[in-house]
């Protein structure tokens, strides 16, 4: 799945544009890391990519076709979005992990069994969390990892992450970072990661971007 943003502008009312004349391209299997000061529009950029926010001007192309030609629900199934503040539905950890499979976009996909869910939890240092636990009362760091698992269970082609490790301790962050790198290198998962924290993978070839003055400046590293 290839995404291209061309001359994107994002404005709200009479305020100056948050994004302006912004270009961005993500090829299948790319890993893009985006830095920038608070309030510069990083989260809004992810929302534009996921079509949760429509740009004021510019074009979004998916595999060379205008994004408007695709059904939004199908795009969001192919392009998972992990927000900085995780949202848990009332219910157990198991119910939260099964939640995406209730939607039309996942029709035909079977909900994973407890053994699969348990493996995911253990891999992301959530061994002390039971599937029957109330998801709403978990710590923010635990909920962040749960939200990541929930998104990945539907097997998106691209993963959009907005500060997914901001509430994690050092050990948990390192585990999540390593998992993201493996998913990119071994499975070809495309990733756009917004973070203010250090991220220095051993094998993944990053495209590093800085969002400043409403545009993206980038280099391969």
69: which 2 tokens?
Answer: 């030609």
Q: What's the CA gap between 95 and 35, in Å, rounded?
A: 34
**What tens digit of pLDDT does each residue of 118-138 get?**
999 999 999 999 999 999 999
Q: What is the pTM of this model?
A: 0.91
Whether the per-residue pLDDT at 199 is higher than 90: the answer is no
More confident residue, 64 or 109: 64
Q: Which tokens is 25 given?
A: 């391209």
- Cα torsion at 69, 72, 76, 81 (round to 10°)? 110
Q: What is the pLDDT of residues 163-188, one digit of tens each?
A: 999 999 999 999 999 999 999 999 99
The answer to whether the beta carbons of residues 167 and 140 sit under 8 Å apart is yes
Domains of the chain with CATH codes: 3-89+156-220 (3.40.50.300)
Length of the chain: 221
Tens digit of pLDDT for each residue in 200-210?
888 888 899 99
């Amino acid at each position: 799945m290839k995404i291209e943003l061309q001359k994107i502008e994002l404005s709200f009312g009479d305020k100056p544009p948050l994004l302006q004349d912004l270009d961005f391209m993500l090829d299948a299997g790319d890993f893009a890391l985006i830095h920038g000061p608070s309030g510069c529009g990083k989260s809004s950029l992810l929302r534009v990519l996921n079509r949760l926010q429509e740009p004021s001007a510019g074009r979004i192309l998916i595999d060379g076709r205008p994004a408007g030609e695709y059904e939004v629900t199908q795009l969001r199934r192919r392009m998972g979005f992990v927000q900085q503040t995780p949202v848990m539905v009332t219910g157990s950890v198991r119910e939260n992990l099964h939640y995406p499979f209730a939607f039309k976009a996942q029709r035909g996909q079977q909900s994973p069994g407890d053994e699969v869910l348990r493996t995911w939890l253990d891999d992301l240092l959530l061994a002390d969390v039971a599937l029957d636990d109330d998801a709403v009362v978990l710590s923010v760091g635990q909920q962040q990892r749960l939200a990541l698992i929930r998104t990945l269970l539907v097997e998106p082609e691209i993963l959009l992450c907005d500060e997914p490790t901001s509430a994690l301790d050092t050990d948990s962050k390192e585990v999540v970072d390593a998992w993201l790198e493996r998913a990119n290198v071994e499975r070809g998962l495309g990733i756009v990661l917004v973070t203010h924290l250090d991220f220095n993978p051993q094998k993944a070839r990053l495209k590093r971007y800085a969002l400043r003055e409403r545009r993206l400046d980038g280099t391969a590293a």
